[in-house]
Chains A and B, each alone.
Chain A
Amino acid sequence: MRVAVLGGGNGAFITAADLAGRGHTVRIFEAPEFAKALDGVKEKGGIKLEVRAGLDLPQGFFPVEATDDAARAVEGADLILTVVPAFGQKRFAQLVGKHLRDGQVVVLSPGNFGGAVEFARAIRESGCTGRPIIMETECMIYSGFKDGPASSWVSGFKRGMSGAAFPASDGPRGIAVLQKVYPMCRLGHNILETGLGNVNTVFHAPILVLNAGRVESDKDEFLFYWDGCSESVGHVVEGVEAERLALGLALGTPLAPFHKVMIDWYGHQGAKGDSLAQVMRTNPAYEWDTAPRGLRHRFLVEDIPYGMVPMEDLGRLVGVKTSLTTAIIDLACSLLGEDFRAKARSLKALGLAELTAEQFRDVIATGKGFWPA
């Protein structure tokens, strides 16, 4: 299959290499302002993939075409995987929007809340006349990182992921294509399920805020989950998780509890535990995950405006209290002197602030107002 990978960072490299290693024809494209990230790939003509023992992924050097031409990147691609941080998604929509054709499947992996909605609006505004299918997944299926100009390392591979489309009704057609590269991927009901299914939102900021002094003091290196998710920190994470589940119920989109999800994803790597926190702090896949060395990190700078603030927003929409989520947002704003709510991908930023809960759910299901009838 022809696959385009948009992005030039950790996730994009691993994705491109893995798919190429499994026989797909892969092009990788990065935004011009970051095009240097692909210099190594251009020079070597591909990306090397090294994989942690026990994971069933191809290892070796695999051919990947790096291009700085947005049209060429997506031309003829059946699947376009956008593997970039949430704040970069709109930019790619603007770059490739007018080149997208009917039936091409774009997958934001992960979407983060509202990713597909923002992407759909942005490609129309950028002159897209076709009717692509826009999907998101709730997470990135890999964990790992880019470790050289043309190489990457995979430490974890989730056994399972879900993808949903915006509008939800496009889901079945979209998932059929996505399953060609990720057969374990299941169809989610809608992008509320994927948007609210990102563990980053629930795990990252609470653990970082409750370890803020240690991170900033930089006195010693410590493991983010194994050391950082101590007993009380675990209670806070579980409290935010409870708020997330309550949101799902109130939105009419029941969500899979993260405790179960973590076992599904990482059980094959040895993850276990009676509670979510217990699983996190002993998960073998997190063995080398060291804590950030400073607070100005995506765990706050991305996960608050693109994850936690939307949760708070949705809470107001459907009448669910989000005191813990709000507490973490307010402390993060205070720690960094930033107004994350102003920069967030809120319902207002998505152009959906004036809707009732009922109208909002209708837009999510049908895409009303985003696509021509």
Chain B
Amino acid sequence: MKRIAVLGAGNAGCAAAAHLTKMGLEVRLYNRWAAEIETLKAQGGARLEGVLGSGLYKPAVITTDLREAVEGADFFWVATPAVAHEFLATELARLLPKGAHVLLNPGSTGGALAFSKTVEEHGGAGDLVVAETNTNIYICRITAPGTVTVWNLAAHILFSAFPGRRRDAVIEELAPYFSNLKAVPTVLDTAFANINAIMHPAGVIMNAGWIEHTDGGFKFYAEGGTASVGAVIDQLDRERTATMLALGLDPLPFVEVFYLYGATSPQAVKERSAYRALKDSAPNALIQAPPNLKHRYLSEDVPFGLVPMRHLADLAGVRTPVIDALIVLASVANGVDYLSRGLTLRKMGLDGVTPFTLLTFLREGRTE
């Protein structure tokens, strides 16, 4: 891995571009829209602040031309929200070389599967491996135009790839640069460990009135994450783990994933309580509630989080009343039918798969 195309110059993309450049890799940074990279181009790079050090790091290329960004690249690092994956995969399909290594950081739920399927549908060269993480490697935000602050690296990130048999090749490439990658068997292990999908929609729906009445004038976790809201997340987690078990996967409870990520206490893990996990979460104590319901906490985390989980539960024959309730209420709140607009089994390339052929499919990329 020498020349990395970093696709997306938002929070995650800027952090990756600066950090990878700092570590001596050649980075080619792409963003679809010019506005977001104006300052980066003017100052010649991304200014990094926080735990990874301070400094201005200059990628080799900063461009809105995708072809230019991927030219000669031997690794493709996707740092866009899940809503942009379909667009990017469609544009990249003919540009990716055969056998390309793609990383979705993060993958959201089902991201690697959907990305792979879209590339295939648009004439991809073949032999693609799409790796993904369950949440962003970097805990970061763009804090001023052209400046990204990284408050921390996630302690442990779940990592896998589709097809699963190619996972280790990708992890080997990344290992010299990232020591926090925890390999898990399949991209459904990462998909179901999508922390955002587990936490955000529940917190938004059960504080919908508060959000809209006060334009998000309260602390999302510290004040909005009450014991009963935590109880709902616990039940969502049970639906999620039941689904994983029924599909032959080995689930990690949400609180454990959250703890591995570095966001909460060991006591919360012992209690297996989402409420405790959020209360004990220092990094989340000051997070403000979103100003409205159009926010990614619903508009991304439902269609690219809860919806694919729900469709997978259907495949498994597991009932998911809380997940269903959140999807329905989010859909009514935002006037969008998330169940059909979000990631379906077909969009993830799973429509021909049964619970019996699923693990083979995830490992091999096909059912035989």
Residues of A near any B CB (own CB < 8 A): 207, 209-214, 216-217, 219, 222, 227-233, 235-236, 239, 295, 323-324, 326-328, 330-331, 334-337
Q: With an 8 A cutoff between CB atoms, is B333 at the interface?
A: yes
User: Hey, which chain B residues are within 8 Å of A209, CB to CB?
Assistant: 206
Q: Which of chain B's residues 317-343 have a Cβ closer than 8 Å to chain A? A: 321-322, 324-326, 328-329, 332-335
Residues of B near any A CB (own CB < 8 A): 203, 205-213, 218, 223-229, 231-232, 235, 293, 321-322, 324-326, 328-329, 332-335
User: Hey, which chain A residues are within 8 Å of B208, CB to CB?
Assistant: 210-211, 230, 232-233
Interface contact B228-A212, CB-CB below 8 Å: yes
Rounded to whole angstroms, the CA-CA distance of A239 and B337 in the bound complex is 14
Rounded to whole angstroms, the CA-CA distance of A213 and B224 in the bound complex is 5
Rounded to whole angstroms, the CA-CA distance of A233 and B330 in the bound complex is 10
Rounded to whole angstroms, the CA-CA distance of A140 and B321 in the bound complex is 33
User: Hey, which chain A residues are within 8 Å of B334, CB to CB?
Assistant: 232
Which of chain B's residues has its CB closest to A223's CB? B213
Rounded to whole angstroms, the CA-CA distance of A216 and B228 in the bound complex is 8
Max count, chain A CB within 10 A of own CB: residue among B207, B210, B218, B333 = B210
Residue contacts A-B, CB under 8 angstroms, 20 given: A209-B206, A210-B207, A211-B208, A211-B210, A212-B207, A212-B229, A213-B206, A217-B218, A217-B223, A227-B213, A230-B212, A233-B208, A236-B329, A323-B328, A326-B325, A327-B329, A330-B324, A334-B232, A335-B206, A335-B232
User: Hey, which chain B residues are within 8 Å of A323, CB to CB?
Assistant: 324, 328
User: Hey, which chain A residues are within 8 Å of B212, CB to CB?
Assistant: 230-233
Interface contact A211-B332, CB-CB below 8 Å: no
Interface contact A213-B229, CB-CB below 8 Å: yes
User: A297 → chain B, closest Cβ, in Å?
Assistant: 12
User: Hey, which chain B residues are within 8 Å of A212, CB to CB?
Assistant: 206-207, 226, 228-229
User: A293 → chain B, closest Cβ, in Å?
Assistant: 13
User: Hey, which chain B residues are within 8 Å of A210, CB to CB?
Assistant: 205-209, 329
Max count, chain A CB within 10 A of own CB: residue among B203, B332, B333 = B332
Max count, chain B CB within 10 A of own CB: residue among A211, A216, A233, A334 = A334
User: Hey, which chain B residues are within 8 Å of A327, CB to CB?
Assistant: 324-326, 328-329
User: Hey, which chain A residues are within 8 Å of B210, CB to CB?
Assistant: 211, 213-214
User: B78 → chain A, closest Cβ, in Å?
Assistant: 31
User: Hey, which chain B residues are within 8 Å of A236, CB to CB?
Assistant: 329, 332-333
Interface contact A239-B228, CB-CB below 8 Å: no
Chain B interface, DSSP helix/strand/loop, else mixed: helix
User: Hey, which chain A residues are within 8 Å of B326, CB to CB?
Assistant: 327, 331
User: Hey, which chain A residues are within 8 Å of B226, CB to CB?
Assistant: 212-213, 216-217
- For the complex with contacts A210-B329, A211-B208, A214-B224, 19 further pairs of A-B residues with Cβ separation under 8 Å are A211-B206, A213-B206, A213-B223, A213-B224, A214-B218, A219-B223, A227-B213, A228-B213, A230-B211, A232-B212, A233-B208, A323-B324, A324-B332, A326-B321, A327-B326, A327-B329, A334-B322, A335-B229, A335-B232
Max count, chain A CB within 10 A of own CB: residue among B212, B224, B335 = B212
Interface contact A213-B332, CB-CB below 8 Å: no
User: Hey, which chain B residues are within 8 Å of A233, CB to CB?
Assistant: 208-209, 212
Query: Given contacts A212-B207, A213-B207, are A336 and B228 in contact (CB under 8 A)?
Result: yes
Which of chain B's residues has its CB closest to A228's CB? B209
Given B228, B325, B333, which contacts A330 in the complex, CB threshold below 8 Å? Answer: B325
Interface contact B293-A232, CB-CB below 8 Å: yes
Query: Given contacts A232-B334, A239-B332, are A334 and B235 in contact (CB under 8 A)?
Result: yes
Query: Given contacts A236-B332, A323-B328, A330-B325, are A335 and B228 in contact (CB under 8 A)?
Result: yes
Interface contact A330-B322, CB-CB below 8 Å: yes
Rounded to whole angstroms, the CA-CA distance of A335 and B208 in the bound complex is 15
Rounded to whole angstroms, the CA-CA distance of A97 and B322 in the bound complex is 42
Rounded to whole angstroms, the CA-CA distance of A331 and B325 in the bound complex is 7
User: Hey, which chain B residues are within 8 Å of A216, CB to CB?
Assistant: 226-229
Rounded to whole angstroms, the CA-CA distance of A295 and B228 in the bound complex is 9
User: Hey, which chain A residues are within 8 Å of B229, CB to CB?
Assistant: 212-213, 216, 335
Given B225, B293, B322, B325, which contacts A213 in the complex, CB threshold below 8 Å? Answer: B225
Interface contact B209-A214, CB-CB below 8 Å: yes
Rounded to whole angstroms, the CA-CA distance of A295 and B206 in the bound complex is 12
Query: Given contacts A212-B206, A233-B209, A235-B333, are A330 and B321 in contact (CB under 8 A)?
Result: yes
Interface contact B207-A214, CB-CB below 8 Å: yes
Rounded to whole angstroms, the CA-CA distance of A213 and B235 in the bound complex is 16
Interface contact A219-B209, CB-CB below 8 Å: no
Which of chain A's residues has its CB closest to B323's CB? A330
User: Hey, which chain B residues are within 8 Å of A219, CB to CB?
Assistant: 218, 223
User: B338 → chain A, closest Cβ, in Å?
Assistant: 13
Max count, chain B CB within 10 A of own CB: residue among A210, A236, A324 = A210
Interface contact B329-A222, CB-CB below 8 Å: no
User: B74 → chain A, closest Cβ, in Å?
Assistant: 46
User: A280 → chain B, closest Cβ, in Å?
Assistant: 12
User: Hey, which chain B residues are within 8 Å of A235, CB to CB?
Assistant: 332-333, 335
User: Hey, which chain A residues are within 8 Å of B232, CB to CB?
Assistant: 331, 334-335
User: A230 → chain B, closest Cβ, in Å?
Assistant: 3
Interface contact B213-A222, CB-CB below 8 Å: yes
User: A304 → chain B, closest Cβ, in Å?
Assistant: 13
Interface contact A217-B293, CB-CB below 8 Å: no
Interface contact B328-A324, CB-CB below 8 Å: yes
User: Hey, which chain A residues are within 8 Å of B235, CB to CB?
Assistant: 334
User: Hey, which chain A residues are within 8 Å of B231, CB to CB?
Assistant: 334-335, 337
User: Hey, which chain A residues are within 8 Å of B322, CB to CB?
Assistant: 330-331, 334
User: Hey, which chain A residues are within 8 Å of B335, CB to CB?
Assistant: 235
User: A1 → chain B, closest Cβ, in Å?
Assistant: 44
User: Hey, which chain B residues are within 8 Å of A239, CB to CB?
Assistant: 332
User: A218 → chain B, closest Cβ, in Å?
Assistant: 9
User: A305 → chain B, closest Cβ, in Å?
Assistant: 16
Interface contact A217-B224, CB-CB below 8 Å: yes
Given A211, A295, A326, A337, which contacts B209 in the complex, CB threshold below 8 Å? Answer: A211
